[in-house]
């Protein structure tokens, strides 16, 4: 039976990819205005279904909670649509009369999109919007734990896109979630780019597929509370971040680092806001629950509230406990609290000096999470600059909840649910991935001694020349 399912999944994948390839040929010929109408329709339809999809995702996966998943869905629809409104992605993007250059946006083609179980519906909308905005078709591979809610999300997106003028097949989704189907998708000849969000093994498979890929590594961001910080505000930011959807956002803080002189002040404020500092025995009990013997994260603890985690580990906590905290001093594979924990659990590092804190943050990130996210709470610009120059991350966040700041909800970063980690993190991009990451730039260059047409002087000529160039070079 397993073999039959694998064969069926492979065949379904091939069919979806062929349809996506045909659809993309039509999308590639559409104007920016046509693509924008499709994007707006998709965002509107998805936003209207935000609660329904959040309920489906929470029920199917058991991760997080409906309220925060609704917020994620609306972020992925409303906020992303707002950010890309007016963005130019196809046709002539730029003309440089002095250098006699044109830059033309060209879609990459069919995109294979891997969807994680932690964000199984919001990721669909976000990736579909940035793909369609840039003239690409997209085929989703859902996580086996979230196939029904992901498929429902993709169907909503597909129906809205087609009603707004997108060709059939522009948005596809595997209904048979399996490794065989996912591998078939990543290796399909029609696929030109892989957009991978998921666990380390999945991201590695994407980069090993032989196709261009944008993958994201694990998050494991420390949060440094400096002595110049507003401690109450800093703790409140961490609380808001780490409890959002019960810690399933990869940019959320995984540890707090403080100087010894700040230890008691930070602990007192944290306790007042619902943090529970575990004793050594309790931390040991929970550690056995967090990770499997092979070192991989136990899916049973992902997106669970703190009180439930304590109950599962076998020790009581005060009612209203929001976050569990374990004292830690080292980082490495034998130190579970030094790793990414997709639930409201934090490590607490206490160091003797600012330089020791910097070294510890680098050590933690070098072990896991390099290139991803770091948070600092401080008003001292010099210390912010010092750490920003040395910490190996792509998102260095100041005085904001990391989960929300990292994805661009509370910062000026592009609103995204795929966060590149750069070369240091084994990723091909350090960006919050946007439509501009999903196009190629075709450059039209005149000889310096010849006169290039000044296309901006005649809007009709711009469109005519752009269309002629695209027709000849497709």
Q: Which residues are catalytic?
A: 250
Give the residue from 191, 214, 197 showing the smallest Cα distance to 117. 197
Return the residue matching tokens 């711009």.
Answer: 462
Q: What is the CA radius of gyration of the chain?
A: 24
Three-state secondary structure readout of 294-352: CCCECHHHCCCCHHHHHHHHCCCCCCCCCEEEEECCCCCCCCHHHCCCCCCEEEEEEEC
Contact in structure between 340 and 218 (CB atoms under 8 Å): yes
- Rounded to whole angstroms, the Cα distance separating 345 from 326 reads 8
**DSSP helix, strand, coil percent of the chain (3-state; round to 5):** 50, 20, 35
* 3-class state of residue 247 by DSSP: helix
Residue for token digits 């209207």?
48
Q: Are 226 and 377 in contact (CB under 8 A)?
A: yes
Distance CA 382, CA 387 (A): 9
User: Residue 288: helix, strand or coil by DSSP?
Assistant: helix
Quickly list DSSP for 62-118: --S-HHHHHHHHHIIIIIHHHHHTT---SEEEEEETTTTEEEEEEE--EEEEE--SS
């Amino acid at each position: 039976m397993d073999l039959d399912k694998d064969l069926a999944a492979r065949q379904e994948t091939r069919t979806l990819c062929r349809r996506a390839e045909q659809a993309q040929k039509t999308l590639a010929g559409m104007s920016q205005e046509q693509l924008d109408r499709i994007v707006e329709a998709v965002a509107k339809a998805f936003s209207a279904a935000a609660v329904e999809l959040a309920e489906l995702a929470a029920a199917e996966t058991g991760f997080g909670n409906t309220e925060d998943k609704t917020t994620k869905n609306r972020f992925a629809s409303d906020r992303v649509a707002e950010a890309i409104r007016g963005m130019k992605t196809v046709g002539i993007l730029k003309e440089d009369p002095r250098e006699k250059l044109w830059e033309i946006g060209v879609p990459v083609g069919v995109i294979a999109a891997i969807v994680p179980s932690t964000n199984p519906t919001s990721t669909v909308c976000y990736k579909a919007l940035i793909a369609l905005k840039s003239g690409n078709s997209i085929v989703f591979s859902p996580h086996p734990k979230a196939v029904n809610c992901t498929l429902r999300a993709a169907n909503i997106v597909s129906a809205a896109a087609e009603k707004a003028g997108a060709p059939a097949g522009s948005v596809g989704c595997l209904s048979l979630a399996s490794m065989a189907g996912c591998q078939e998708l990543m290796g399909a000849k029609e696929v030109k780019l892989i957009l991978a969000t998921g666990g380390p093994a999945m991201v590695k498979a994407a980069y090993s597929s032989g196709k261009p890929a944008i993958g994201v590594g694990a998050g494991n961001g420390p949060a440094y509370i400096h002595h110049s910080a507003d401690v109450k505000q800093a703790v409140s930011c961490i609380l808001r971040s780490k409890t959002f959807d019960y810690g399933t956002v990869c940019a959320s803080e995984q540890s707090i680092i403080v100087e010894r002189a700040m230890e008691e002040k930070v602990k007192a404020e944290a306790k007042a806001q619902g943090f529970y500092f575990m004793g050594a025995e309790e931390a040991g009990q929970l550690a056995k629950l967090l990770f499997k013997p092979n070192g991989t994260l136990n899916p049973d603890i992902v997106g669970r509230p703190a009180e439930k985690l304590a109950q599962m580990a076998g020790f009581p906590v005060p009612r209203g406990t929001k976050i569990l905290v374990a004292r830690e001093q080292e980082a490495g594979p034998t130190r579970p609290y030094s790793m990414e924990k997709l639930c409201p659990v934090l490590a607490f590092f206490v160091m003797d000096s600012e330089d020791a804190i910097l070294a510890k943050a680098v050590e933690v990130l070098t072990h896991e999470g390099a290139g991803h996210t770091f948070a600092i709470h401080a008003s001292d610009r010099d210390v912010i600059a010092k750490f920003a120059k040395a910490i190996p991350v792509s998102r260095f966040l100041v005085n904001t909840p990391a989960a929300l700041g990292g994805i661009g909800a509370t910062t000026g970063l592009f609103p995204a649910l795929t966060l590149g980690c750069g070369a240091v993190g084994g990723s091909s991009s350090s960006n919050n991935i946007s439509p501009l990451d999903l196009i190629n730039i075709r450059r039209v260059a005149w000889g310096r001694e010849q006169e290039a047409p000044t296309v901006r002087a005649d809007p009709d000529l711009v469109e005519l020349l752009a269309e002629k160039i695209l027709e000849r070079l497709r």
